[in-house]
Chains A and B, each alone.
Chain A
Amino acid sequence: MSSRSSSRRSSARLGRGIALHLFLTPLALIWLFPLWMMVIFSTMPDRGIFSPSIELLPHGNFLDNVNNLQRDTNFIGAIGISVSVAVTYTFLSVLLTSMAGWALARYQFFGKGVVVAIILGTITLPYAVVLIPQFIMVARDFKLANTWVALIVPPLFNSLGVLFMRQSFSMMPGDLFDAARVEGVKEWRIFLFVALPLARPMLAALAIILFLASWNNYLWPLLINSKPGAMTAPVALGTLIGLTKVSWGGIMAGAVMLTVPMLVVFVLLQRHFVAGIAAGAIK
């Protein structure tokens, strides 16, 4: 009797497994479809994109499309700006964010509750509220429009990253740091040479998420660096969308150049990615 019930249970399991895959496979294909089409479009000549036939397989026009894009806007130059800005931003932001997280996790100080409340409060505050004065300040008062500083510095404040680093540092055993203190090691050395190396996986997760946020950032760079030659890659690409007489194969090649490197990073470092997002490292 027990063998019969167990075989019934295993056939029920089999049925559930099949149903699961029958449902999930089409959904996954639908989800991959826009990315697949992005790649296909980027390899097609414009007359192929705007033709009545259904094309679902790659052609060989990617490099021509890159040339078309470069003719429409200096995309390679814009990529250079985006990479430099994202690298600098990531380094500075990881440093600032982990320093603040360290202070909140490891010291008792006057005003701590207020600082934590402010950070929590800004999570649900729409960015729109700071956008206009930020723009007036950076563009008119500091006269920094169309510079790298304008792209890098204002976005350095982030709230979820600090909470993530605070969490990471507060889970570390305190004895370790106390032992260093007994030896007379200064606090900033403890932070740099004991705490940061221990937090390496969390720092990797944070860095990936921050890099991605900077790489894809659109609204702020659109407003502050609108001069051709100072635009980031997404902004440069965005200026072409909606224009007539522009190569859509080129636009798609640009979209692929923006997206595929990030997909590769995602596949290689999926664990860190998922950890960073799951901890709510950044919206």
Chain B
Amino acid sequence: MRYQNATAYRFLAPYLLIFSIFWLWPIISSFLISFQATRTVPWRFAPTFNWGRLIGDPAFFNALKNTLLILVIQVPVMITLAIVMAVLLNSPLLKARGLFRFAFFAPVVVGEVAYSAVFRLMFNLDYGIINKLLNSVGLPRIDWFSNVTPAMAVIMIAVTWRWAGYNAIILLAGLQSIPQDVYEAATLDRVSKLKQFFYITLPLLKPIIVFCAVLSIIGTMQLFTEPFLITERGGPGGGTETLGLLLYRQGFRSLNFGYASAIAYTMAGLAIAISLVQLWLTRDPK
């Protein structure tokens, strides 16, 4: 194919313009801002001002700990659930497939604010439907939002509810691209369904599972709306404060842009590390 620089860049121009103004420059800019003291006018260059504060800030380590805790528990649970949903939705034995697909995929269209409001009401101490149901089967009610562990659990349940179906859609598309004759051959050789799952489905699905896991990790790492709205600004007492929420408080409540940028670049560092793990996991075996 011959080079058509002028034509190609004419088509790319609006897209690249938006990218340069609203992404490329901000990426560079927030790096630079993280080395400035931003609560003095004018801002001044102070390379250790924010980063020095970061490594000694208990609020940062609290948010980092909470974020990692949610990541480590919520993402594996959700991905496992999404794999189960995708495999079962793909079963030829399934009746009323449309209804099941609707049930699992519907949360994908529900906005963060709408579902945060519902979960907050469902887990209300005195009048929430969850505690009423617990009571009705003879279990004690739980004070979901006054203690850290149950508050964390609500956040993880909410996020899992919202995103499991999304991942199942991607995984289901992956499953449907596996050629059927592989399974037919395995069935003829009397390989059990369970073994087929572990020795055929999972290995062939691995790149897609890793893709889902990476997107989920990066999404969960930036978790903001759920602790902001469901557990009331990261409550109780900062027990569900995440890096996303800390960044919001520092950047947009205290207007401390320098410190917030340092937090943002910490998240970017984590994301890069995770992407490298992804590349390593999906590398071509030599």
A residues apposed to B, CB below 8 Å? 13, 16-17, 20-21, 23-24, 27-29, 31-32, 34-35, 37-38, 41, 49-52, 54, 96-97, 99-100, 102-104, 107-110, 112, 115, 118, 122-137, 153-154, 156-157, 162, 187-188, 191, 212, 215-216, 218-219, 223, 234-235, 237-238, 241-242, 248, 251-252, 254-256, 258-259, 262-263, 265-267, 270, 273-274, 277-278, 280, 283
Contact = CB atoms under 8 A, between A and B. Distances in A.
Given A29-B103, A126-B271, A130-B26, 5 more contacts: A21-B95, A35-B106, A37-B129, A54-B132, A108-B8
Contacts of B11: 99-100, 102-103, 107, 188, 191
A129 B109 contact: no
Contacts of B19: 118, 157
A241 B113 contact: yes
A126 B232 CA distance: 23
A238 B229 contact: yes
Interface stretch (B57-65, B69-77, B115-123, B199-207): B115-123
A137 B9 CA distance: 26
A234 B11 CA distance: 34
A38 B222 contact: no
Given A31-B103, A100-B12, A234 B170 contact: no
Interface residues of B, number: 100
A256 B117 CA distance: 11
A125 B268 contact: yes
Interface string B33-75: 1000000000000000000000000000000000000000000
A252 B118 contact: yes
B186 interface: no
A126 B18 contact: no
B106 A32 contact: yes
Contact of B229 (A52, A100, A241): A241
A38 B214 contact: no
A267 B12 CA distance: 34
Nearest to B13: A99
B197 interface: no
Interface of B: 1-5, 7-12, 14-16, 18-19, 21-23, 25-27, 29-30, 33, 85, 88, 91, 93-95, 99-122, 126-127, 129, 132-133, 136, 161, 165-166, 169-170, 172-173, 193, 211, 214-215, 218-219, 221-222, 224-225, 229, 232-233, 243-244, 247-248, 251-252, 257, 260-261, 263-265, 267-268, 271-272, 274-275, 278
A253 to B, nearest CB: 11
Contact of B106 (A123, A252, A255, A266): A266
Contacts of B30: 129-133
Contact of B173 (A132, A237, A262, A278): A278
B121 A49 contact: yes
Q: Say what secondary structure dominates the interface of chain A.
A: helix
A102 B110 CA distance: 31
A248 B118 CA distance: 10
A133 B127 CA distance: 43
Given A115-B16, A270-B101, A218 B121 contact: no
9 contacts: A34-B107, A99-B11, A118-B19, A132-B30, A137-B25, A153-B18, A219-B225, A252-B117, A266-B102
Nearest to B94: A20
Contacts of A267: 102
B132 A129 contact: no
10 residue pairs, one from A and one from B, having the closest CB atoms? A133-B26, A278-B173, A216-B111, A28-B103, A255-B114, A103-B11, A109-B8, A133-B29, A130-B26, A100-B15
A34 B128 CA distance: 12
Contacts of B232: 242
Contacts of A99: 11-12, 14-15
A140 to B, nearest CB: 10
